[in-house]
A = this chain, B = another copy of it.
Amino acid sequence: MIGADAIRGHIDLILLAILETQPSYAYEISKTITGRSRGEYVIKQTTLYTAVKRLQSQGLLDSYEDASPSGKPRTYYRLTPDGLDQLGVKREEWRSTRALVDHFTEGKDAS
């Protein structure tokens, strides 16, 4: 089970990466995260919606409506060109962060 603090700051990256493959809607994104993490991380509804709105307000995602087989129509989210750019940037940031933490935790010098 992975705690929220550990993930904090990486949620945007995860969402962008998931949406890179194909557009998706909130509920499905949530399932994707749970599934691909094998239940190690389950994103909270509020966290997810907040993050998606934040990304949308930054112009990294846009959305469109589509029918749902049951209940309310869904809001699908997909990457904008800016979102794709940012995904690249955030991937790089992640690699730097990962390298940095690894240096300390594994007791190696910076490389």
When A9-B8, A100-B37 are in contact, do A2 and B105 touch as well, CB less than 8 Å? no
Interface centre among A20, A96, A101, A102 (most CB of B within 10 A): A101
Interface presence of A55 (CB below 8 A) = no
| CA–CA, A104 and B102, complex, Å | 19
A104 in contact with B6 (CB, 8 Å): no
Binary per-residue interface labels of chain A (17-33) against chain B in the complex, 1 for a CB within 8 Å, 0 otherwise = 11011000000000001
When A14-B101, A100-B40, A101-B13 are in contact, do A6 and B94 touch as well, CB less than 8 Å? yes
Cβ-neighbour of A38 out of B13, B35, B110 (below 8 A):
B110
Binding site for B on A (CB under 8 A): 2-3, 5-10, 13-14, 17-18, 20-21, 33, 35-38, 40-41, 91, 93-94, 96-98, 100-105, 107, 109-110
